[in-house]
Chain A
Amino acid sequence: MLDFLANVGETLLSTLRDVTPIVVILVVFQVAVLRQRLPNIRGIATGSVMVLLGLALFLIGLEQALFPVGETMAQQLTEKAGAGAGALADAVRWQDYWVVYLFAAAIGFATTVAEPALIAVALKAKEVSGGAVSAWGLRIAVAVGVAIGVSLGCFRIVTGTPLPWYIVAAYVIVIVQTYFSSRTIIPLAYDSGGVTTSTVTVPVVAALGLGLAANVPGRSPLIDGFGLIAFASVFPIISVLGYAIVADRVGRWRTRNERQEVEP
Chain B
Amino acid sequence: MQHTREEHGLPRFALAMAKQTLGALRDLAPIFAVVIFFQIVVLRQPFPDLANVIVGLVCVVLGLALFVQGLESGLFPLGEALAQGMARKGSAVALLALAFCLGFGATVAEPALIAVAAEGAEVASQAQFIGDSQDAQDRYALEVRLVVAAAVGIAIVLGVLRILKGWPIHRFIIGGYVLVMVMTLFAPEEIVGVAYDSGGVTTSTITVPLITALGVGLASTIRGRSPMLDGFGLIAFASLTPMIGVLGYGMVV
Contact = CB atoms under 8 A, between A and B. Distances in A.
A47 B20 CA distance: 14
Nearest to A127: B216
- Determine the interface band of chain A, counting residues with CB < 8 A from chain B: 35 or more
A198 B56 contact: no
Nearest to A103: B38
Interface residues of B, number: 111
Nearest to A69: B35
A92 B148 CA distance: 36
Nearest to B68: A119
A240 B214 CA distance: 23
Nearest to A179: B170
B102 A25 contact: yes
Nearest to A99: B42
A90 to B, nearest CB: 22
B106 A21 contact: yes
Contacts of B157: none
Interface of B: 27-28, 30-31, 33-35, 37-39, 42-43, 45, 47-49, 52-78, 81-82, 85-86, 89, 91, 94, 98, 101-102, 105-106, 108-112, 115-116, 119-120, 122-123, 126, 168-170, 173-174, 177, 180-181, 184, 190, 192-194, 196-197, 199-210, 212-213, 216, 220, 226-236, 238-239
22 contacts: A18-B204, A21-B109, A22-B210, A29-B86, A29-B101, A46-B74, A50-B69, A50-B73, A51-B74, A54-B67, A60-B56, A61-B60, A115-B205, A119-B71, A120-B68, A178-B173, A186-B170, A187-B228, A187-B233, A190-B173, A193-B239, A222-B122
Given A66-B31, A197-B203, 19 more contacts: A14-B111, A26-B78, A44-B77, A47-B73, A47-B75, A51-B67, A61-B55, A62-B56, A73-B39, A106-B37, A110-B30, A116-B67, A120-B71, A164-B192, A167-B196, A183-B168, A184-B228, A187-B233, A195-B203
Interface of A: 4, 14, 17-19, 21-22, 24-26, 29-30, 33-34, 36, 38-40, 43-66, 68-70, 72-73, 76-77, 80, 99, 103, 106-107, 109-111, 113-117, 119-121, 123-125, 128-129, 163-164, 167-168, 171, 174-175, 178, 183-184, 186-188, 190-191, 193-200, 202, 206, 222-223, 225-230, 232-233
